[in-house]
């Protein structure tokens, strides 16, 4: 016991190796970066793409679309990304099990390459349908990568670095949003002659991943538990940990492998990855499942994309000249990027639970203040547009500090190797469904609720903070067995009540 504790303490003090940090960056540049980048770059060329849609229709049928028809086609182009992400989230789990984490990420770039070819040739072909298909394929890429990437980095990192590596992934999401805003400026690629190059530029990060990721090892946990290849697992651990095999990490993986073997002997069939449906019906994992269902849904239902969308109106009301708004909007992406960078320092100090509860609580407060400011603004109270601007930036900062990174960490940290792919599929699917719903419904909320349009998001943030306060245990620095035991105790208390 003493020697094991001493080994664990020694492993905990070791800094993250350069190889592990580079592997995380390589996975993220073709993963979460792509999500943020592709969310961002579609905004600036809106008018040019709508003109392209109309010119394609005139070329084909001799008449342009009516305003409602054009809006529908444009909405479908934007929403195709979310729909693709949903299918990608469902595809990511089976790919990760059958091909491995690293091979899945590499193969996933084929969707990007095909999408880039479609975008680059759609103007020549005068076909806006090619643009819809391209956005759908890019969405599949993002759905797969956001699922598999988090499995890869969490399974590759020692437990005392898991929070940090996942928040590095969150940093790449924010960096993708920020860089997309910059590249989409009217002085760069956000112009009529160049918008198709802007949309196709997402292939470049994919190519970087194709060149760099093969140099890094497969997930050690996948090699040992899924492939039963202990030697390859130890080689991967050495590669990721400066030539050493962390004793505590190896012991934890062997313990999990033994537990899964015992479970297989007790249940009869050979141990294999759970499907989504079998995970839904697994009573032992019900508490963890409820946590990721709530986490995967509320990270989009909290209103972060609505805030990004509404910020253009708020900046306009604040008196910022229209030609300058695109530069001020970059500040929203910079806020999330800086918050994500700072959260790397906090996640293994404050813990996951504190960042989630604190993040959603403060987001609730600033949505309340924003609603009051928007209401007073309609009554021409001076200074309210600037109060609204402060609330927008504060909301984005606290989203980046907590929910943006911790949500991605939960499915990979609270489920074992057998259930992790299915958990990622469920969390990812809900994420993309809610992203699609917010994108479709929020314009109607603005029309119906006016200055009160953020109240539904405020309710979601408040209820989410309360839920995590009641049902989410702290997972910082705990082994999977310890996390499972804590969830089990909470479930027993719930049954007694």
Domain presence at residue 228: no
429/290 same-domain check: yes
- Domain-located, residue 225: no
Same-domain pairing of 470 and 369: yes
Residue 72 sits in the same domain as residue 148: yes
Question: Among all chains, which residue has been given the structure tokens 């309710």?
Answer: 459
* CATH number of the structural domain spanning residue 176: 1.20.1250.20
**Final residue in a domain of this structure, among 192, 216, 240:** 216
* Residue 29 and residue 114 in one domain: yes
* pLDDT for res 110: 94
| Unique residue bearing structure tokens 């898991």 | 162
3-state secondary structure of 456: helix
- Does 242 map to a domain? no
Same domain, yes or no: 434 and 319: yes
Q: Is 57 part of a structural domain of the chain?
A: yes
| Count of domains for the chain | 2
The phi-psi region of residue 356 (left if phi > 0; otherwise alpha if psi is between -120 and 50; otherwise beta) is alpha
Q: Are residues 462 and 347 in the same domain?
A: yes
- 352 within domain boundaries: yes
Predicted confidence at residue 270, as pLDDT, reads: 45
Full domain range(s) for residue 211: 17-216
Three-class DSSP category at 347: helix
Residue 389's pLDDT is 85
Whether residue 246 is contained in a domain is answered as no
Residue ending a domain, choose from 163, 187, 216 = 216
Task: Please indicate, yes or no, whether residues 295 and 430 belong to a single structural domain of this protein.
Answer: yes
126 and 40 co-located in one domain: yes
Question: Distance between CA 317 and CA 307 in Å, rounded?
Answer: 15
Q: If you write DSSP's letter for every residue of 40-92 in order, what string do you get?
A: HHTTTTHHHHHHHHHHHHHHHHSSPPPHHHHHHHHHHHHHHHHHHHHHHHHHH
Residue ending a domain, choose from 172, 189, 216: 216
In this structure, the answer to whether residues 332 and 449 fall within a common structural domain is: yes
Q: What is the SS3 assignment for 301?
A: helix
Kindly state whether residues 105 and 190 are assigned to the same domain. yes
Is residue 250 included in any domain, yes or no? no
Element (H, E) at 367: helix 352-378
Q: Cα(334)–Cα(330) distance, rounded to whole angstroms?
A: 6
Q: Could you tell me if residue 346 is inside a domain?
A: yes
> The whole model's pTM is what?
0.82
pLDDT average per 10 residues of sequence, the chain (497 residues): 50 75 91 88 84 85 78 82 89 88 93 93 88 93 89 84 78 89 86 90 93 93 87 90 82 78 58 72 84 89 81 71 78 85 78 89 94 86 85 90 81 78 84 83 80 90 93 78 74 52
**Predicted pLDDT of residue 381:** 84
Task: Look at residue 265 in the predicted model and tell me its pLDDT.
Answer: 59
DSSP 395-432: HHHHHHHTHHHHHHHHHHHHS-TTTHHHHHHHHHHHHH
One domain, residues 91 and 203 = yes
Looking at the fold, whether 180 and 294 belong to one and the same domain comes out as: no
Judged by phi (left if over 0) then psi (alpha if -120 to 50, else beta), residue 170 lies in alpha
């Amino acid at each position: 016991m003493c020697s094991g504790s001493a080994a664990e303490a020694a492993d905990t003090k070791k800094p993250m190796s350069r190889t592990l940090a580079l592997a995380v960056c390589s996975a993220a540049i073709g993963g979460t970066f792509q999500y943020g980048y592709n969310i961002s770059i579609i905004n600036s060329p809106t008018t040019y793409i709508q003109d392209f849609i109309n010119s394609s229709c005139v070329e084909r049928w001799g008449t342009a679309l009516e305003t409602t028809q054009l809006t529908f086609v444009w909405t479908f182009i934007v929403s195709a990304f979310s729909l693709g992400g949903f299918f990608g989230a469902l595809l990511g789990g089976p790919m990760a099990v059958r091909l491995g984490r690293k091979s899945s990420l590499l193969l996933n770039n084929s969707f990007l390459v095909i999408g880039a070819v479609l975008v680059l040739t759609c103007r020549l072909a005068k076909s806006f349908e090619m643009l819809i298909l391209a956005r759908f394929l890019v969405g599949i890429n993002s759905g797969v990568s956001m699922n598999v990437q988090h499995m890869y980095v969490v399974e590759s990192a020692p437990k005392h670095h898991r929070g940090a590596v996942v928040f590095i992934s969150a940093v790449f999401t924010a960096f993708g949003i920020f860089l997309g805003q910059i590249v989409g400026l009217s002085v760069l690629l956000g112009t009529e002659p160049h918008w198709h190059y802007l949309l196709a530029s997402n292939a470049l990060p994919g190519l970087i991943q194709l060149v760099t990721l093969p140099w890094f090892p497969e997930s050690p946990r996948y090699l040992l538990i899924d492939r039963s290849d202990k030697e390859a697992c130890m080689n991967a651990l050495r590669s990721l940990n400066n030539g050493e095999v962390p004793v505590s990490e190896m012991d934890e993986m062997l313990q999990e492998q033994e537990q899964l073997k015992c479970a297989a002997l007790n249940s009869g069939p050979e141990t294999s990855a759970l499907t989504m449906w079998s995970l839904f019906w697994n009573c032992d994992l019900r508490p963890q499942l409820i946590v990721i269902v709530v986490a995967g849904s509320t990270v989009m239902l909290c209103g972060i994309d609505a805030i990004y969308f509404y910020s253009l109106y708020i900046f306009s009301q604040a008196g910022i000249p229209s030609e300058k708004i695109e530069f001020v909007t970059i500040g929203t992406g910079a806020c999330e990027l800086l918050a994500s960078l700072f959260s790397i320092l906090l996640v293994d100090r404050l813990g996951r639970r504190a960042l989630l509860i604190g993040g959603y609580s403060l987001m609730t407060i600033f949505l309340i203040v924003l609603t009051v400011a928007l209401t007073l603004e309609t009554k021409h109270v001076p200074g309210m547009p600037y109060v609204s601007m402060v609330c927008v930036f504060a909301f984005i900062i606290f989203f980046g500090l907590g929910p943006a990174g911790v949500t991605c960490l939960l499915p990979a940290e609270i489920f074992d190797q057998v259930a992790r792919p299915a958990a990622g599929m469920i969390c990812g699917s809900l994420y993309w469904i809610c992203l699609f719903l917010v994108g479709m419904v929020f314009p109607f909320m603005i029309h119906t609720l006016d200055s009160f349009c953020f109240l539904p998001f405020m309710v979601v943030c408040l209820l989410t903070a309360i839920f995590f306060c009641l049902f989410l245990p702290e997972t910082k620095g705990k082994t999977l067995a310890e996390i499972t035991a804590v969830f089990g105790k909470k479930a027993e208390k719930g049954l007694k009540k």
